[in-house]
């Protein structure tokens, strides 16, 4: 076994791998941010519709990405053990499973308007969200393939290309939004439809760019050669590892979608403010997601090398980095809530003061759950690295639904606290998940390797 890495060496390795990953996540998510900002300037009704539709879209994208995230630990472990054939097999079957997940999602989106109306949403907002989903939903097919390729390339430590492709995609989305939402440069003014079309084009272009890179830079894996040929053993392995990840993600994303629905019961202003505050909280969360994926890769590599001390020391270092960044995000939300919310609003919109007032309150609650949100996603990353996914799934279901959603309902409606009470339910759910999942890793997960 190689000489154990020092704390400093672990930190350098984590940041070298993590910074491009974090940057690529932020650039990819900026597509949603750009949609929200531009539609916020287009009108509060459009903003509320994309807040609701985007929440549903994100739920299906994240849930469908479970098979992509299963690629991370398996490919990292196989690469560390020099098993190139295994890398190709699992990556290809993850792409198959992601195609099936995209097909299921699009079928659900066809019924979006009656489903959202049945959940008590304003008819106009439900109609707008359905329009957005009816177009943007087709972008899930390339978006899910992008997630697989990102996991594949990340596990091979080829993260810089992810950063540049996603930055280019964000720029393309901004240009297309400017043209198609507002009707600039001779394009038709399409509003919500324009934002949806821009997202589909951006996702498709990003997939083509990453597929071209993978086919050339990692030609030894022949990822797309005879792509149509099934490999049922690898299919079953990725399915077995990925479906608990999908259900775990669905539990968390479903909590946030349920919170969006509850905010819609309060009114359009509250839902619009929720959409803005949630986008800002999601930006800081994606930093933690990047670190979580680094934790998965490093833990998977330690598993492939049978390096128990490296697993433990690396986990401590990445947890310390994540905690520092969570504290920084909390300070930002508490010190600059007004300016941050104002970025999403047209100064001349008559609803601006009400949206700003609610948004500032919600950002204060977001500051409370930064440490909890980072803790739970980081623990998930470490557990996935040692290929422990089923018990974390059960923890997630318990923490996010009976505890988190139950608290949101009681605090928001039974006790009458309203918007802040609903968001405090997020604190309860995320905090419970963080405590239980960290305990799982340090008491069970580390036993995957000898000390």
Mean per-residue pLDDT for 70-87? Answer: 85
For 261-312, write each residue's pLDDT tens digit.
Answer: 899 899 888 988 898 898 889 888 888 988 998 898 888 888 888 888 888 8
> What's the rounded Cα separation, in Å, for the pair 422 and 417?
8
> What's the rounded Cα separation, in Å, for the pair 348 and 41?
9
> What's the rounded Cα separation, in Å, for the pair 389 and 47?
36
CB 373 within 8 A of CB 430: yes
CB 162 within 8 A of CB 150: yes
> Taking Cα atoms as reference points, which of 87, 60, 63, 84 lies closest to residue 73?
87
Q: Which single residue is written with the structure tokens 């050669």?
A: 225
Report domain extents, the chain.
13-448
pLDDT of residue 1: 46
Looking at the predicted structure, is the pLDDT value of residue 319 above 90?
yes
For the chain, report the end-to-end CA distance as a whole number of angstroms.
13
> What's the rounded Cα separation, in Å, for the pair 206 and 396?
31
> And the tokens for 294?
């680094």
pLDDT of residue 213: 95
> What's the rounded Cα separation, in Å, for the pair 75 and 87?
5
* 377 compared with 30, residue with greater pLDDT: 377
For 103-152, write each residue's pLDDT tens digit.
Answer: 998 888 888 888 888 878 788 888 888 888 989 889 999 999 999 999 99
Indicate if the alpha-carbon torsion angle 371, 375, 381, 382 is positive or negative: positive
For 196-228, write each residue's pLDDT tens digit.
Answer: 899 899 999 999 999 999 999 988 888 888 888
Helix axes 44-64, 7-42, angle to 10 degrees: 140
Rounded (10°) CA dihedral 92, 98, 104, 106: -120
What whole-number percentage of the chain has pLDDT above 70?
98
> What's the rounded Cα separation, in Å, for the pair 351 and 280?
20
Residue 83's CB is within 10 A of a number of other CB atoms, namely 15
> What's the rounded Cα separation, in Å, for the pair 395 and 407?
16
pLDDT of residue 98: 94
DSSP string, 326-355: HHHHHHHHHHSHHHHHHTTS-TT-TTHHHH
For 402-432, write each residue's pLDDT tens digit.
Answer: 999 999 999 999 999 999 999 999 999 999 9
Per DSSP, helices labelled H in 83-224 are: 84-109, 112-118, 123-136, 140-155, 160-182, 192-217
Residue 97's CB is within 10 A of a number of other CB atoms, namely 22
DSSP 224: T
> What's the rounded Cα separation, in Å, for the pair 235 and 239?
6
Kindly report the average pLDDT of the chain as a whole number: 88
DSSP 5: P
pLDDT of residue 17: 77
């Amino acid at each position: 076994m190689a000489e154990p890495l020092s704390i400093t060496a672990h930190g350098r390795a984590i940041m070298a791998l993590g910074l491009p990953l974090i940057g690529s996540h932020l650039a990819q998510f900026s597509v949603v941010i750009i949609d929200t900002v531009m539609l916020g300037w287009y009108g509060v009704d459009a903003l509320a519709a994309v807040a609701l539709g985007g929440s549903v879209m994100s739920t299906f994208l994240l849930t469908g990405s479970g098979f992509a995230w299963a690629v991370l630990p398996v490919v990292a472990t196989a690469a560390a053990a020099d098993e190139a054939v295994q890398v190709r097999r699992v990556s290809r079957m993850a792409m198959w499973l992601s195609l099936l997940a995209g097909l299921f999602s699009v079928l659900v989106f066809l019924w979006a308007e009656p489903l959202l109306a049945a959940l008590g949403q304003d008819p106009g907002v439900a109609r707008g969200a359905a329009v957005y989903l009816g177009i943007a939903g087709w972008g899930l097919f390339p978006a899910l393939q992008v997630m697989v390729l990102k996991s594949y390339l990340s596990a091979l430590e080829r993260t810089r290309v992810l950063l540049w492709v996603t930055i280019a995609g964000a720029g393309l989305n901004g240009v297309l939004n400017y043209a198609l939402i507002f009707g600039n440069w001779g394009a038709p003014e399409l509003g919500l439809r324009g934002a949806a079309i821009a997202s589909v084009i951006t996702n498709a272009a990003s997939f083509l760019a990453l597929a071209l890179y993978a086919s050339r830079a990692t030609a030894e894996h022949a990822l797309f050669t005879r792509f149509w040929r099934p490999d049922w053993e690898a299919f079953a392995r990725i399915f077995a590892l990925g479906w608990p990840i999908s259900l775990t993600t669905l539990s968390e994303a479903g909590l946030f979608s349920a919170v969006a629905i509850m905010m819609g019961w309060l009114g359009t202003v509250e839902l619009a403010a929720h959409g803005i505050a949630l986008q800002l909280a999601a930006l800081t969360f994606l930093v933690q997601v990047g670190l979580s994926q680094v934790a998965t890769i490093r833990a998977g590599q330690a598993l492939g090398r049978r390096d128990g001390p490296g697993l433990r020391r690396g986990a401590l270092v990445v947890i310390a980095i994540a905690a520092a960044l969570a504290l920084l995000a909390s300070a930002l939300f508490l010190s600059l809530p007004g300016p941050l919310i104002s970025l999403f609003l047209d100064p001349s919109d008559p609803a601006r003061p009400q949206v700003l007032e609610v948004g500032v309150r919600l950002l204060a609650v977001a500051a409370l759950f930064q440490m909890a949100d980072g803790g739970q996603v980081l623990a998930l990353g470490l557990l996935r690295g040692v290929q422990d996914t089923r018990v974390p799934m059960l923890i997630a279901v318990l923490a996010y639904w009976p505890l988190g959603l139950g608290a949101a309902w009681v605090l928001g409606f039974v006790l009458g606290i309203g918007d802040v009470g609903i968001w405090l339910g997020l604190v309860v759910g995320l905090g419970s998940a963080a405590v239980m999942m960290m305990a799982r890793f340090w008491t069970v997960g580390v036993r995957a390797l000898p000390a």
